[in-house]
Amino acid sequence: MAIHQLNIDDFLNQADSYPVLDVRSPAEFAHAHIPNAHSFPIFSNEERAEIGTAYKQCSREAAIKIGFKAFGSRLNDYVEAAEKICSRNNKEILVYCWRGGMRSSAMAWLLDFYGFEVGLLDGGYKSYRNTVLKSFEKSYPFLVLGGKTGSGKTDILKELAKKGYAVLDLEDLACHKGSAFGDIPGRKQPGQEQFENMLHQALRKLTLEQPSTIFVEDESQRIGQVNLPGSLYQRIRNGRQLYLDIPFAARLEYILQDYASVPTAELIAAILRIKKRLGPLESKTAINYLLEDDKQACFDILLQYYDKQYTKSLANRAIQLDIILLEKVHTETNTNHILDRLAQQS
């Protein structure tokens, strides 16, 4: 077969069709990796540390010999594991390490020798990360969906996606709903670097489809424990915005339904996280309402707080809002209102 050196664009294009092996250590992979790649470490964390120490304290040759001992003892294991990852009738596979150096070259040699068609990422993960960061400097045709907390913006984005429209769902990528109450049960937030990798993947996919509009929600820069890259955040923040203007009572009803099953202890913990901004009296009052099993009174206080925060944020931005007046929070109805507005403007 053959080994093909691939630039980052060709590598990512082929990654849509063929399995990708990340041959860095498990710790490196856990920190961040190319989305959908398989962890396929050529060395364990301990072996990598030992080889690195030998390289620094002894010589390059000494480090290579240690690597040979570990690598050589597992050749058959690597081949069998790669076969399980590939389909029966397809032996095309992609490989990368940190800089496209010895680790990926050794694995590529082995798989090629056995009979795989191997694509090797030129420059490795480091090259990939440079591409990720540069992608956030580009212009995208964002149409920002705005509105105060409880307007059902995320549900509308999902409905638009189901209808075939281009959508960048930041909360889904971040595994967080974007407020102190935003943890999504059963989903752990990615680290910052992995979030950026996933964000790049989503933008790349949308760009390949060449949409005239990409719908995105008006978010704070910080979503849970991760941050939107600064340049991308500014493009979203200053983009054209459709503002959903829905009455307070309707939004409160929607929030109560959304958080009806959340345990009281978790809600109290969330209130304590915003205590300094909410204020000691309001925080105490909201918690007391929860303890009295009066979620409506509690969320009335919280929604007023988030409304003030959002209004303040809009006041600091030089943008014109395209306001859509809506009576209630209803995903399908409000999605159709948005599409009707856009049709009128086209």
Residue 279 pLDDT exceeds 90 = yes
**Average of pLDDT values for 264-273?**
90
pLDDT bin (cut points 50, 70, 90) of residue 53 is confident
pTM of this structure: 0.91
Give per-residue pLDDT as tens, 3-46: 999 999 999 999 999 999 999 999 999 999 999 999 999 999 99
pLDDT for the residue numbered 49: 85
Count CA atoms closer than 13 A to 242's CA, side-chain side.
25
pLDDT for the residue numbered 335: 97
Share of the chain above pLDDT 70, in %: 96
Is 86 marked active-site?
Answer: no
Give per-residue pLDDT as tens, 141-182: 999 999 999 999 999 999 999 999 999 999 999 998 766 566
**Average of pLDDT values for 260-283?**
90
Question: Of these residues, 58, 86, 97, 175, which one is catalytic?
Answer: 97
Give per-residue pLDDT as tens, 187-228: 789 999 999 999 999 999 999 988 999 999 999 899 989 999
Q: Which domains does the chain have, with CATH numbers?
A: 2-133 (3.40.250.10), 139-345 (3.40.50)
Q: How far apart are CA 2 and CA 109, in angstroms?
A: 9
**Average of pLDDT values for 298-313?**
92
Residue 334 pLDDT exceeds 90 = yes
Sheet with 117-121: strands ordered across: 2-6, 117-121, 92-96, 20-22, 38-39
**Average of pLDDT values for 257-267?**
86
> Which one has a higher pLDDT value, 182 or 253?
253
pLDDT for the residue numbered 239: 81
56: its two tokens = 């620094």
Pair 321, 241: CB distance under 8 Å: yes
**Average of pLDDT values for 89-101?**
90
pLDDT bin (cut points 50, 70, 90) of residue 326 is very high
Q: How much of the chain is helix, strand and coil, in % rounded to 5?
A: 55, 15, 30
Q: Which segment of 79-88, 114-123, 156-165 scores lowest on mean pLDDT?
A: 79-88
